[in-house]
Amino acid sequence: MERILGAIRNNAGLTQADVARRTELSRATVSNLVAELERRGLVRTRGGLRGSRRALEAVIGRTSNAVLGVDFGHRHVRVGVADLGGRVLGDEERALPQDLGVEESCAEASAMTARLLAKAGLQRSDLIQAGVGLPGPIDQGLGRVGWHAILHRWAGLEASSTLRELFGLPVVVDNDGNLGALGELRFGAGRGCQDLVYLNVGTGVGAGLIIGGRVHHGAAGTAGEVSHISIDPYGQLCRCGNRGCLDTVVGTDSFLEMLRGTYGDELTVSRVLELADLGDVRCRRAFADAGHALGVVIADLCNLLSPQRVVVGGMLAQAGEVILGPLRETVAQRAVPAAARAVEILSSTLGGRAEMIGAICLALDAVTASSWRPDAVAGAAGA
């Protein structure tokens, strides 16, 4: 039943026949299981958009229930509140001081949550689950943040239990790159894919891998740590101890440092984007070099995984074809020809909201997995 409920919730407007095709179950099996889900109050039918066929809609527990999605970045936090059908009721982003403490960061996120709930006409008790993204590898067994997380004060933290105490909610945690991939898979540029690579080019390079329609974590929870692939063995020393890692070449701090000697210490990525749009050759070359560096890593991923799609997000991705063109060119040159022909390389359609939306998806998946009865969800709300 979890497969059926997941398909209905993540794909608006499906009929029973659509669900049968997506889940590869027989129509009779789907019909029986949908009837049971309706009996339990987890699914209802509504007027379909296609002829007289009636579409299915997931309804888990009380209609006022909601989930929380939080994306903690190096210098920001974004919070979103969504209903149990996945509709975002409101979201907000705020800048944070670099390396702010865990309790202070969570206090800011909680204040943002209170504002969003008030705007949506909801109470704190309506929240039944939170999903949180952090920029570092997460041990999926222990929920512990890896030692080389960008947020140094979070390193080594058993995030799930700590955040549950601070937020007063059940919390599931994952790497922000994985959540960006999940968000794009379900609601963005990755829709319809089974094999997807997502890159967020920001302070560091976050990445998430979708294989067979699922987030791939790997044995240690470090799958997708492309930021520490060395592309220049004689390059800048990285915080991980190696030299010339991708982070040191295209991370925003390194990217801007190359240009500040010419444009001043106050240079920002937004200003570089403006100058590149005006035709500034240095800024355009900086984006092209970043695209080539990303292409080296993406070509290797294409050879290993042969994804259907690569989705590029983050601040540098706002340069569009100025960075994507060189990236595609490098992939075409370096990847196995069949893999290079099969992959589509696109900009993110969710932008800076991808990780937050992925955190909401993570929370919804936790609700789906644990809440098969309406009373179970209602009980979770008071946890």
pLDDT at 54 over 80: no
Query: pLDDT grade, residue 145 (50/70/90)?
Result: confident
34 compared with 282, residue with greater pLDDT: 282
Question: How far is residue 204's CA from residue 274's CA, in Å, rounded to a whole number?
Answer: 22
- The architecture (CATH level 2) of 66-179+354-381 comes to 2-Layer Sandwich (3.30)
Closest by CA to 136, choosing from 188, 182, 73, 181, is: 73
Pull the structure tokens for residue 372: 């098969």
Contact 44, 59 (CB under 8 A): yes
Question: How far is residue 186's CA from residue 167's CA, in Å, rounded to a whole number?
Answer: 26
Closest by CA to 313, choosing from 205, 213, 232, 241, is: 205
Contact 75, 98 (CB under 8 A): yes
Residue ranges of the domains in the chain? 2-58, 66-179+354-381, 189-349
Q: Do domains 2-58 and 189-349 have the same CATH topology?
A: no
Helix 269-277 and helix 252-263, axial crossing angle in degrees, nearest 10: 60
Single-letter amino acid code for the residue at 37: L
pLDDT at 148 over 70: no
Domain over 189-349 is classified CATH 3.30.420.40: yes
Question: How far is residue 198's CA from residue 185's CA, in Å, rounded to a whole number?
Answer: 9
pLDDT at 381 over 60: no
56 compared with 219, residue with greater pLDDT: 219
pLDDT digit string, tens, across residues 319-361: 999 999 999 999 999 999 999 999 999 999 999 999 999 999 9
Mean pLDDT value across residues 85-107: 91
> Average model confidence (pLDDT) for the chain?
87
Q: Express as a percent the part of the chain with pLDDT over 70.
A: 89
pLDDT digit string, tens, across residues 198-207: 999 988 898 9
pLDDT digit string, tens, across residues 206-221: 899 999 999 999 988 8
Could you say which of 1.10.10.10, 3.20.20.70, 2.60.120.200, 1.25.40.10 is the CATH number of the domain covering 2-58?
1.10.10.10
**DSSP character string of 18-72:** HHHHHHT--HHHHHHHHHHHHHTTSEEEE--SSTTPPEEEE--S-TT-EEEEEEE
pLDDT at 156 over 90: no
